[in-house]
Amino acid sequence: MSNAIAKTSSSISQFVQQVPESRSELDIISGELHSLDEVVELVKDNASLFPPHLANKTPAVLETCLAILNELEGCISVLDRSSASRVDKESRWLASRNHIAKLRWTLEGYKYTLWLAVDLVALWVATFPALRQLQVNEKYPLDVNNC
Amino acid sequence: MAKVVGEIQALTESLEEEARQNGAVAHLQQYLHALHIHGITTAHVEVNQPPNRRRAPSSLTCSDAPDSAIELSDDQTSPFGTTGAHKQPRVIVPAAVGTSLDEVDELLDELGEMPGEAPVPPPRSSARRAPSVNLNPSHDRRPSTSGSYSVSISSGNKSMTHHSPQSSWHRISHMRSWSRTRSETQESICEGYSTPGTDISTSSDPQPDSVERKRPDSETIGQPFDFARLSGWENPRSQVPVPDMTRPSTSSSSMTSQSAVPGTVRRSSSRLSTALKGLRIGRRSSSRARDEREPGRMEPQSQPESEPRSEPAYLEAPRAVFGVPLTESMQVAKGIGQDGYGSTESRKANNTRGYPLSVLRCVYFIQERGIQTPHIFGQDADHILLAKLKEIFSSVDTGYGKILDWDHFTVHEAANLILQFLSELPTPLVPPTAAKRWVSLSRQATISGSMAMRLDQGIDFWEEAFLGIHGPSRALLRLLLNLWGVIADMAEFNDMTAERLAGRVMRPLMHLPAARFDTDLMLGLAFVIRRRSEYQVKAKGGGRRSNAAF
């Protein structure tokens, strides 16, 4: 996931250099990706603390989030094809803005959900500190490294 | 926990419509449902737990993360060059029923000015000491949650379907348009905001010419003068009174002046007033130890006989107005303006605030003559004139700006002087935490339902936007935001959109290094300027919508 985020951020940076008009919106997406990277790191670091039913569902959520990221990166790469002139890239950007905005909207929803999950787990652990010892996730491992 | 559960529920509801058409969002909604169940279960168990077992300190790494999905964590890559996290204490004061938001706003200012630590309570008397009770329950008494989880796990396994990434994404047919959701969200929010702002366009009619002619003999700038001969406040605003020297320059003092009996306990508790009195006494003693006289103050005509002057004011060394903390600058040269959109004269009279005189005068000047000036705040001023203007506001000879002929200057000098004042403050008027909060607020505005959810939780937008900014800083920020909101509203005349304004003012406001331009911070500030413009237009009534609205 971190690799995908880094790759997408890099694609965005390259495209913004080509089409400065896209800076305002793509900078927002870059910020979202940065925040998403943070929350994914938190999920990874605290994977062992997730309750079992959440630990079971979270990998699927991360997979879908990764799919959205790949879609976004794909869109940017298509817009930033080396064969296209700067004017073409700009016109493609204008045509694709809505679609990319939709991708960003969905990505934001996933990011907020993951933040809420992290908050919830933190509160749950604070409420039941002894449950950390049970390590229920030994039965339901949460593997985020393959996402 | 309740807050997190509320946020989960609100996010679930906001995604409900989209989930019918978007597989990815439907998947997300299922996850949110699981989070919701878990949150409710945890909250239920937490309530039933004995008090000492609640919220045990956790060494979880994510406790260092932001408290919610809203705040961003400070890190060492902050553009402001700070190291380490600096978290402002969060003060959420739910508006009581029947309490005006003006009063709530003033209460927040007072809370901000209170001492950081609570006063040490007196020791308990031996008669009141209760026998110690062991409140540690056994582990057996703690409810087991594994049973409740097993049910959800089984149901979760059955209901969860694994969508292939590509197929799930191809199922996305259409989503709501951004502009429609944004506009709906903004309109719904606008109605809920009624935090008082600074009313620059007060009812008083400006009479610049007549007031200017009442000035003493000097027609040129910078001539020495005698304070005793001054007849009144040289300002187009007739409602800019001279501050009373006997009272300290705090926002709470505006309330004290309204009470007939000195030391009258206000609507706050006696403990609050006692703490404030102690704070004021401490400030008085420290200010007296520093200097016995304060020549730079705008002194009233009738001075008390018990405080004779030792020497004339204009012979004393001038004190710094620029490059010093805001409170210190206001002790030297302070102007009082209105703050709030009170409908009655009594409310307007009660909502007065202290501002740095230089900034206040420049704001009034721009408000009256420069709103439609092209590129106001957007272009540099004549540096010679700017230096002269700064000198006037720094000189005791001119009363630190009390004697000033604006005919020698343009609105660009006034605008640049404001920015210079902000740049030279020792600490930024907008701290990094507030700036980042504005960024997250601007992003949240794009998620439908999130702002409405926050309103349901009683979190006022401006309360959160100004979190961490207290007292004179908050009043000054409101003053400037009101000015920039008005300018942004007139962007069709002056070409200064909220984004252009934000790009020009964010460095002096936030003390950003010159080599760095942070788009996020600029957009966050532009968002706040636009919201302020919307709020002002709505507060003034008339059914018009701000031109700076989204």
Give the tens place of pLDDT for each residue, B387-422.
Answer: 999 999 998 888 888 888 888 899 999 999 999 999
Residues 6+ apart with CB under 8 A from B434: B465, B466, B467, B468, B469
Would you place residue B187 in the very low, low, confident or very high pLDDT band (cuts 50, 70, 90)? Answer: very low
- Cross-chain residue pair A124–B38, CB shorter than 8 Å: yes
Q: Chain B residue with minimal CA distance to A30?
A: B520
Which of helix, strand or coil describes residue B335?
Answer: strand
Measure CA of the first residue to CA of the last residue in chain A; give whole Å.
5
- C-alpha distances (whole Å) from B208 to each of B229, B237, B361 are 20, 8, 12
Q: Helices A52-79 and A23-45: crossing angle, nearest 10°?
A: 150
CA distance B522 to chain A (A): 10
Q: What average pLDDT is seen over chain A? A: 81
Which of helix, strand or coil describes residue B62?
Answer: helix
Taking the Cβ of residue B30 and every Cβ of chain A, the question of whether any pair is shorter than 8 Å is answered with yes
pTM of the model: 0.41
Which tokens is B300 given? 């009233």
Task: Look at B128 and B263; give whichever has higher pLDDT.
Answer: B128
Tens-place pLDDT, residues B353-394: 889 999 999 999 999 988 889 999 998 888 899 999 999 999
d(CA B292, CA B53): 55
Count of alpha carbons within 13 angstroms of residue B272, beta-carbon side: 14
Which tokens is B41 given? 């279960």
Q: Number of CB pairs < 8 Å for A and B?
A: 177
Q: What is the mean pLDDT of residues B308-325?
A: 66
What is the residue whose two structure tokens read 């004269």? B345
Tens-place pLDDT, residues B6-45: 888 888 888 877 777 778 888 888 888 888 888 887 777 7
d(CA B503, CA B357): 25
- Cross-chain residue pair A129–B58, CB shorter than 8 Å: yes
B45, B152, B519 ranked by CB distance to A24: nearest: B519
Q: Chain A residue with minimal CA distance to B176?
A: A102
Taking the Cβ of residue B165 and every Cβ of chain A, the question of whether any pair is shorter than 8 Å is answered with yes
Burial class from Cβ neighbours inside 10 Å (0-12, 13-18, 19+) for residue B192 reads middle
A32, A49, A71 ranked by CB distance to B60: nearest: A49
Please tell me the predicted confidence (pLDDT) of residue B225. 44
Taking the Cβ of residue B267 and every Cβ of chain A, the question of whether any pair is shorter than 8 Å is answered with no
Find residue B335's DSSP bridge partners: B355
Would you place residue B55 in the very low, low, confident or very high pLDDT band (cuts 50, 70, 90)? Answer: very low
Find residue B336's DSSP bridge partners: B354
Q: Give chain B positions within 8 Å (CB) of A27.
A: 519-520, 523
Cβ-based neighbour number of residue B392 at 10 Å: 24
Taking the Cβ of residue B298 and every Cβ of chain A, the question of whether any pair is shorter than 8 Å is answered with no
d(CA B416, CA A27): 29
Task: Look at B450 and B228; give whichever has higher pLDDT.
Answer: B450
Q: Give chain A positions within 8 Å (CB) of B66.
A: 115
- Cross-chain residue pair B177–A98, CB shorter than 8 Å: yes
| A44 close to A147: Cβ distance less than 8 angstroms | no
Q: Give chain B positions within 8 Å (CB) of A122.
A: 58, 60, 62-63, 65
Q: Give chain A positions within 8 Å (CB) of B8.
A: 116, 120
Q: Chain B residue with minimal CA distance to A61?
A: B28
A31, A67, A127 ranked by CB distance to B45: nearest: A127
A28, A101, A116 ranked by CB distance to B35: nearest: A116
Cβ-based neighbour number of residue B405 at 10 Å: 15
Q: What average pLDDT is seen over chain B? A: 65
CB within 8 Å of chain A, chain B residues 90-129? none
CB within 8 Å of chain A, chain B residues 169-198? 169, 172, 175, 177-178
The complex's ipTM?
0.81
